[in-house]
Amino acid sequence: MAAGLGLCPCRALLGGRRGALRALVRPARGLAAAKETHFGFQTVSEEEKGEKVYQVFENVAKKYDIMNDSMSLGIHRLWKDILMHKMNPSPGTLLLDVAGGTGDIAFRFINYVRSIRERQLQRKLKHHQNLSWQEIADSYQEEAIKPLGDSQVVVCDINKEMLKVGRQKAQHLGYSEGLSWVVGNAEELPFDDNKFDVYTIAFGIRNVTHIDLALQEAYRVLKPGGRFLCLEFSQVNNPLLSRLYDLYSFQIIPVLGEIIAGDWKSYQYLVESIRRFPPQEEFKAMIEDAGFLKVDYQNLTSGIVAIHSGFKL
């Protein structure tokens, strides 16, 4: 999901040598479908949760960005900027942004890499004062043809409406180079093993039915040395702020949802889903269980959100 209050899961194919494992896993998942889980504060079947989460984001897609600005007072933009600076991608980075439907992380990635490429070109020209006019022109021509170098970002989201909004934004803002959109489920990503340099998921993993499977898939598709980054709502570590935050979340956000998006229930769910998400240390342990090393997290705004980071080593 990008934007602020969370995107949904993404879909996939596990290929090749994993076929036999998939055959063994499917019956188990069939049994798991009958299990119960939570949808906000409600208890529902796992299958029903997937359907309900999909419906939430289908309902809010067109007002998603406006609501994120309204609910967070625009602070979600700063959180995402911090995530990008923490990633610090270099030209040539291949990024998978899961649950990234409206494109907030993808667009920041493109802007960041473009900025680095421009600075590299300026340094190159500065340190080669004796270049001919033709050599200088060729350098700028190369930059114009490949402004991202070989960098690419793939936005993967299970919800077609969210991706539709993202594509419309990209067209309006002029993003096309190095950007692709894929419908997919975070629990079964449609990508080969060891493919991406960085995996991001911003405000989306709490909407996944099986977080452990999503983390395993993140590990699978990352290259050795690849990095996992998750920006998600977390547990506030200041008692006074926590009480104020609860008051704002439960009394104000659903009202904003009704006024701006005409949808009280979806935003009630989003608020409740935040409270059901594991606190920082527990989520850190889940990431480590998936195989990631050097796992840590950074609290932002007193723990209202946290950025978790881990590496596939």
Q: At what angle do helices 211-221 and 280-289 cross, to 10 degrees?
A: 50
Give the pair of three-digit tokens for residue 99.
């649950």
157 in a known ligand binding site = yes
Q: In sequence order, what are the residues at sequence separation of 6 or more whose Cβ sits closer than 8 angstroms to the Cβ of residue 295?
A: 284, 287, 288, 308, 309, 310
The count of residues in the chain is: 313
Strands (E), the chain: 36-39, 42-45, 94-98, 152-157, 179-183, 196-202, 222-233, 293-300, 305-311
Residue 288: C-alpha distances to residues 4, 52, 202, 244, 310 (Å)? 25, 29, 19, 32, 8
186 in a known ligand binding site = yes
Q: In sequence order, what are the residues at sequence separation of 6 or more whose Cβ sits closer than 8 angstroms to the Cβ of residue 180?
A: 152, 153, 154, 155
Q: Provide the CA 250 distance to its chain's centre, in angstroms.
A: 24
285 in a known ligand binding site = no
Are the beta carbons of 306 and 100 closer than 8 angstroms? Answer: no
Residue 14, phi then psi, degrees to nearest 5: -95, 125
How do strand 196-202 and strand 222-233 relate by DSSP bridges?
parallel
289 in a known ligand binding site = no
Q: Closest Cα to residue 4, out of 81, 98, 52, 67?
A: 67
Residue 298: C-alpha distances to residues 148, 204, 207 (Å)? 28, 17, 21
Are the beta carbons of 66 and 260 closer than 8 angstroms? Answer: yes
Which positions make up the binding site? 102, 157, 185-186
Give binding residues for S-adenosyl-L-methionine as ranges: 102, 157, 185-186
